[in-house]
Amino acid sequence: MKKTLWVIVLVLLVVFIDQLTKGFIMQMSPVGFHWAGAACDLYGQFCNGGVIVHGADLLSLPMTSWFKFVFVWNPGTSFSLFRALGHSAPMVIVVLTGIIIGFLGHQLFMRAKERYERVALSLIIGGALGNLIDRIRFNAVIDFLDFHWKAWHWPAFNVADIAICIGVALYLLGWFINKKGKK
């Protein structure tokens, strides 16, 4: 029970921090704060025929010469996957994300033996849930961390994305170390 409780707390903590930071960014936007509705319904001036205009910053707050807070809607996925599906893409993304979260939850609660596995899977699941909440609420994900250097610009991301990346890196690192130790 103790193992189960702390992983649930970690998942919920990631979701809470992700949604809290996205809420702050929404509130900081000059357009205002909204709790529900599709992104195009909420911010019609940033949409074109129901499609979110890519790169339409609803907030741009420079912090340093290489970092700023922004508010951008991300209706797609990494590497523009599922773009060819057109209007059915959001539903496909939500369903696939739910299936992946279910699979990872099974791995977390039924198969993960090592602490690094439980931490890594909890971070990945928490991040996936944070972005899934956005997709269900807004039909897009809120991204707000924007790093750039001169002409080089990294795509904006959020706390959920950070948790997923750290979780995947931790999982792969732990797997590599364990595999090497068994030789």
Q: Which residues are catalytic?
A: 143, 161
Residue 16, token pair as written in the block: 């809470």
Max Cα-Cα span within the chain:
59
Amino acid of residue 138: F
Neighbouring residues of 125: CB distance < 8 A, sequence distance ≥ 6: 11, 14, 101, 104, 105, 108
Q: Phi, psi at residue 169, to the nearest 5°?
A: -60, -45
Burial 101-111 (b: 16+ CB within 10 A, else e): beebbebbeee
User: How deeply is 20 buried, as exposed, middle or buried, from its count of CB atoms within 10 A (0-12, 13-18, 19+)?
Assistant: exposed
